[in-house]
Structure 1
Amino acid sequence: MVRSFTHDDAGTPAAVWAHAVRERDLGGLEPSAYERLVVVAAHPDDETLGSGGLIATAVALGVATHVLVATVGEASHPDSPTHSRADLAELRRHEMRCASKALGLDEADVSMLDIPDGGLADHLDDVTAQIVSLIGDGRRTLVVAPYRSDGHPDHEAMGRAAAAAAHRTGATLAEYPVWTWHAGKPDDLPWDRFVRVPLTASARAVKREAIACHASQVEPLSDQPGDEVLLAANVLEHFLGGQELFALTPAEEVEDDRLDRLHVERPDPWGVESRWYERRKRALLLAALPRARFGRGLEVGCSTGVLAQDLVSRVDRLVAVDGSAAAAERSEQRLGETAEVHRMIVPQQWPEGSFDLVVVSEIGYFLSPVALEGLVARVASCLTADGVVVLCHWRHPVHGWPLDAAAVHRGFAQGGLPPVAASYRDRDVEIVVHADPSQWPDPQR
């Protein structure tokens, strides 16, 4: 929700926000509950203002902490007569190093991506991938990011990137407002999502020192027009109190629309209808099925329904599910009455009943590690006594997600399913069949 405001507006006084917080019984956020803290920011100083106290607290507790900043903030004073963008970039890099040291971070604990200041939304997928790479397996990780409704385009873009990364890795998301405190009103916030981190006197002192390091923002660059202070006393007052507030969202409640956008942007996003590689892969998968016919089948991650169209000839009834609304709609158009198609976010959502065949093709690595565990458990719980599970995944790294084919197939191998009865692997793809040996075809018949 981008607002129209400037830094020199009167804004909402800190006392108004303090009163609003006192009226509410907010829960707490305990940094020691996490093994890792990953803090992301759009510009140098965002992380200090919004979560400097949390960072200082986490570092003091021994929680592994890393800060990633997307831009160097070179556009903070676009009309400066004394500092070029290059000058500001160098200055703000130095200030970031100073603030990070004040917060207790080592140089290796801070990354800067050099995305153009003001253009973060144009690099959303790459930034998301960088955050995912930094997080890895997000269980017991707290991702701290700008509030997605902060009113600044770069802040909101960074918040969306962090939310997608939290979803993909299974991390918990904590969002810190910055400009909301200045330009927003208490009624603007979803207070039921907000939690507080009380700050000790030591954490407050460390945060004050770190804020002072961002001198280009808290002091004028010069006395000339265009070099005015950006974070005046009335703005800074929001960040110098005895607590910090965050909107907290578990990973399973954060949405990631990348795959849905991909299906909206491209009618055949993976080239499954046109590429020989894809046609060959489907033929290999179908040939790996140990029985000529199955009763009720399930395809998890059906995309546009091309593989499902082949599977319907091998089952009495097929259920096909996909998390993308656009993909599910396209599958439904393709399959018509030959299959049931549902939009479902797995593993949270799942079709009813049991299945003789479950096919998981090119979808496992688009889940977080914890969601993969949930998917394996779902498959195991719905499989009939003589059921078969077929996995099929691209063997190369998947940019922007933490898992790959090997990790997905290991997860299924450890999930209480029937044993691996067959596998096929080449340079690009691996197909694994889980089935009881009794289900394998008799070569004499």
Structure 2
Amino acid sequence: MRAFTHDDRGTSRREWDDLLETAALPLLDLSPYRRLVVVGAHPDDESLGAGGLLVTGAALGLVTALVVATDGEGSHPGSPTHDPAALARRRRAELGDALAAVGQGGATVITLGLPDGRVGDHADEVVASIVDVVGDGRDCLVVAPYRGDGHPDHEAMGSAAAAAAHRTGATLAEYPIWLWHAGGEHDLPLRSTVRLPLTARTRAGKQAAIACHTSQIRPLSDQPGDAVMLPEAVLEHFAGTDELFVLTPAGQTRDDRLDRLHRDDDDPWGAESRWYEQRKRSLLLAALPRPRFTRALEVGCSTAVLTEALQERAARVVAIDSSPAALDLARRRLGDHADLREVDVPWRWPEGSFDLVVVSEVGYFLSPVALEGLVGRVADSLTPDGVVVLCHWRHPVKGWPLDGEDVHRAFASAGIPERAATYRDRDIEIVVHTAPEQWPDPHR
């Protein structure tokens, strides 16, 4: 997309209408969802991009929450009448009025107060905030600015929402804003775009919400620096009979946070340098009920420090991770002979069966639905004499919806052998699952 300003001529609504008229876009189906989490970079994003959806959600009784990254205090940097603090207060008040206009006056609103124009500098904080609101996302539609919108704050919020949707298992719907003004037909992925038809009542509610953002649709004053930010040529894009969203189904969003962690640091968890890691590894190995195994699987091998130790206890070890950077580090440690595989669990899974499966410090980096799938995969591939060993940090895991207790509870399910042993201290819990007859006889 080309560089733009709000007062450029831009792409007209007629041009977009001509393109979309022949696109035959499918409808957005809201029936699978009980909750909406609408994400915006600034107050007014929600009204422009998803005002009709908010009206529809209120009519359907969907539980709604709003996460807004900034107060929009940077919209008029040269204003002689409003300093940033005054503009922030005004825009927060406009947001409250706009939500009331779409019937969402009772919605939960989380305002993060991040610097306007610098949302991308706070990506981890934004992702964690969205994750906290969504939790288990199986019944949730996360609605956010489009990642290709052309505005850096919008794209940062869209990327954060995509990561949060991946971690929670939610569906992601992205709404364009500035793309309508500055983009063209090649900037909108029509194959994944859906439309929400707006009734006359819904359109009226959306327009009423947009009208509440007076700091943006009208000049702050007649002085230089107080000009209107959303002129009529821009606003007309949001007066149509449909709202459009780029839809990414649950399980198809991506999150590269752990891969970036391994790209930035050869030993991101301190597996070789920290006593906590060394001690944890020794405790896990000591908890194995047999001295030798035939074929072991390590889920989430990271840099393969534990993998290397497991090779001393099993004839063959298959180590999997979803991070290419982590696997590069693992190969550097173990060499090309090691069986290291890039696998995004539970959607893919190594073939064959295993008499040992180790899930250490990785279960809470899955969405709730992915964790459920992982348990099923392990149960299906475990040999009758198989052992499952779980090892996880006992404290909250910021930025993900699960913790170690959630993971260990999920494995206490049908298909997994019963819990045979537990070790727990202040920081870690290790759980061993195996059939009772497989526990070692102390007299042999």
Question: Helix, strand or coil: the match of 2:374?
Answer: helix
Alignment deviations for residues 122-159 of structure 1 (CA, whole Å, 9 cap, x no partner): 00000100000000000110000000000000000000
Measure the CA separation in 1 of the matches of 2:63 and 2:44.
20
The alignment status of 1:188 with 2:187, answered yes or no, reads yes
Q: How does 1:321-400 map to 2 (within 5 A)?
A: 321-337=320-336, 339-400=338-399
Specify the code of the residue in structure 2 equivalent to 1:232.
Answer: P
2-structure distance, mates of 1:31, 1:76: 33
After superposition, residues 159-238 of structure 1 pair within 5 angstroms as 159-238=158-237
Residue 318 of structure 1 aligns with which residue?
Answer: 317
Task: Write the mapping of 1:5-20 to structure 2, written as runs, cut at 5 A.
Answer: 5-20=4-19
Question: Given residue 374 of structure 1, which amino acid in structure 2 is its aligned partner?
Answer: G
Q: Secondary structure at the match of 1:319?
A: strand
Runs of 4+ deviating beyond 3 Å: none
Unaligned runs of 5+ in 1: none
Shift of 1:86: 1.4
Pairing of 1:97-116 with structure 2 (within 5 A): 97-106=96-105, 109-116=108-115
Q: Matched residue of 1:287: which SS?
A: helix
- Displacement of 1:31 after TM fit? 2.5
Give, in whole Å, the separation in 1 of the partners of 2:443 and 2:124: 53
After superposition, where does 1:65-84 map in structure 2 within 5 Å? Answer: 65-84=64-83
How many Å apart are 1:316 and its aligned residue? 0.5
- Structure 2 residues without counterparts, runs of 5 or longer: none
For 2:48 and 2:34, the matched residues in 1 are separated by 23
Indicate the residue corresponding to 1:284 in structure 2: 283
Which whole-Å CA distance do the structure 1 matches of 2:154 and 2:187 have between them?
17
Q: Cα deviations across residues 338-367 of structure 1 (Å, max 9, x unaligned)?
A: 530111111112111111111000000000
Partner of 1:82, secondary structure, is coil
Query: What is the root-mean-square deviation in Å for CA atoms of aligned residues?
Result: 1.0
Q: Deviations over 1:7-38 (max 9, x none)?
A: 00011010111111111111111234310000
Paired residues for 1:268-307 under 5 Å: 268-307=267-306
Alignment-mate amino acid for residue 163 of structure 1 = A
1:231-272, CA deviations, whole angstroms, 9 ceiling, x for partnerless residues? Answer: 111100100111100000013111101111111111111111
Alpha-carbon contact 1:322-1:342 (below 8 Å) kept: yes
Letter of the 1:20 counterpart:
L
CA distance in 2, matches of 1:58, 1:19: 29
TM-score in terms of structure 1 length: 0.98
Structure 2 counterpart SS, 1:139: helix
Task: Please say which of residues 19-28 and 392-401 is displaced more in the overlay.
Answer: 19-28
Matched residue, 1:86? 85
Find the residue that maps to 1:118 and give its secondary structure.
Answer: coil
**Contact 2:70–2:115 (Cα < 8 Å) also in 1:** yes
Check the 8 A contact 1:35/1:141 in 2, yes or no.
Answer: yes
Residue 418 of structure 2: aligned partner: 419
Kindly tell me: are residues 107 and 114 of structure 1, through their superposed partners in 2, closer, same or farther at Cα, counting changes over 3 Å? farther
- The answer to whether the 8 Å contact 1:32/1:61 transfers is no
- TM-score (norm. length: structure 2): 0.98
8 Å contact kept, 1:97–1:107 = no
Matched residue type, 2:11: T
In 1, the alpha carbon distance for the partners of 2:205 and 2:188 equals 28
Mapped partners of 2:24, 2:413: distance in 1: 43
User: 2:79, 2:226 within 8 Å by CA — same for their partners in 1?
Assistant: yes
Query: What count of residue pairs does the alignment treat as equivalent?
Result: 444
Do the aligned residues in 1 keep the contact of 2:355 with 2:386 (CA within 8 Å)?
yes
Contact 1:72–1:114 (CA under 8 A) maintained in structure 2: yes
The corresponding residue for 1:45 is 44
Asked if the contact 1:31–1:54 (Cα under 8 Å) also holds between the matched residues in 2, the reply is no
CA pair 336-13 structure 1, distance change in 2 beyond 3 A: same
SS in 2 for 1:114: strand
Contact 2:148–2:187 under 8 Å retained in 1: no
2:150 alignment partner, SS class: coil
Cα pair 2:35 2:64 within 8 Å, conserved? yes
> Could you tell me which amino acid in structure 1 is paired with residue 383 of structure 2?
T
**How far has the Cα of 1:82 moved from its partner?**
1.8
Q: Is the 8 Å Cα contact of residues 102 and 206 (structure 1) preserved in structure 2? A: yes
Query: SS at 1:371's partner residue?
Result: helix
Shift of 1:337: 4.8
Give CA-to-partner distance per residue, 1:272-327, whole Å, 9 cap, x none: 11111111111111011111100011100001000001000000011101111110
* Whole-angstrom distance in 2 between the partners of 1:338 and 1:365: 30
| CA shift for structure 1 position 187 | 2.2
CA distance in 2, matches of 1:77, 1:133: 32
Q: Larger deviation: 329-338 or 393-402? A: 329-338
CA shift digits 1:399-420 (9 cap, x unpaired):
0000011110111111411111
Q: Is the 8 A contact 2:49 2:177 kept in 1?
A: yes
Separation (CA, whole Å) in 1 of partners of 2:373 and 2:96: 41
Q: Is the alpha carbon distance of 1:270 and 1:147 closer, same or farther for their aligned partners in structure 2, counting shifts above 3 Å?
A: same
3-state SS of paired residue (1:310)? helix
TM-superposition CA deviations, 1:205-244 (whole Å, max 9, x none): 0111100000011111111221111111110010011110
Q: Is the 8 A contact 1:312 1:338 kept in 2?
A: no
CA apart distance, 1:103: 1.3
Equivalent-residue separation in structure 2 for 1:25 and 1:351 (angstroms):
40
Report if aligned partners of 1:377, 1:415 keep a CA contact under 8 Å in 2: no
Contact 1:317 1:339 survives alignment (8 Å): no
TM-aligned CA deviation for residue 106 of structure 1:
2.6
Q: Equivalent residue of 2:351, what SS?
A: coil
Determine the C-alpha separation between the residues in 2 that align with 1:202 and 1:400. Answer: 38
Measured in 2, the distance between the counterparts of 1:212 and 1:117 equals 22
